[in-house]
Amino acid sequence: MQKVTTFLWYPKGVIEEAADYYVSVVGGDSRVLETTRWTPAGPGEAGEAMTVRFQLDGAEYIAFDGGPEFTFTEAVSLSVECDSQEEADRLWNELTSGGGQESQCGWLKDKYGLSWQIVPPGLGDALADPDPEKAARAMKAMLGMRRLDIEAIRNA
C-alpha cells in the first residue's frame, strides 16, 4: 500500500461508475481494490458507495462520494506518460467520449470533470532539445494543439 494517496471528491452517486470507467480505460495494472458503503449513521444514503479505492497502472486513488459542494478544477490533473502515439490517441478518444471536453496542450476533462494530460512519448525531449530554436518551435507547435501529435511537434 502506498503511503500518500490522491483523494478525489465526486458528485453524489458516481464513484463506482467512475472508478470502473478509469480502470477499463487505463488498463494495465488497474483495478478496483475496495468499496466502503455509507451506514445509516452517516450523511449519505445507507448502502451507497462512500469511497472506492482503485488502482490505475499501479498508482492508488480514493474516490469519495462528496456531493455537489466541491467540484474538480484544472488546478489538479492526472498526467499519463504514454508509450506510443496510438496509446495517447486511444486514451484521448476514450476520456473525451461521453461528455468529456478537449482543452489545450494535451489536457482534457473527462465526463466526470476530472482533468487529465495525455502525454505522447518524446514530448519532454522535444521541449528540452539542446537547440533552443528547435525547442521553441516544438513549444509553439504544442501550444497550438489540443490532442498532442508528437510527430508534428518533432517536425516543427
In this structure, are residues 14 and 69 in contact, taking their beta carbons and an 8 Å threshold? no
Q: How far apart are CA 23 and CA 119, in angstroms?
A: 18
Q: What dihedral angle (degrees, nearest 10) is formed by the CA atoms of 120, 125, 127, 128?
A: 160
Which pLDDT belongs to residue 139?
Answer: 95
All structural domains of the chain:
1-70 (3.30.720.100), 72-156 (3.10.180.10)
Q: Would you write out the chain's pLDDT as a tens digit for each of its 156 residues?
A: 689 999 999 998 999 999 999 999 999 999 999 999 999 988 888 999 999 999 999 999 999 998 788 889 999 999 999 999 999 999 999 999 999 999 999 999 999 999 999 999 999 999 999 999 999 999 999 999 999 999 999 998
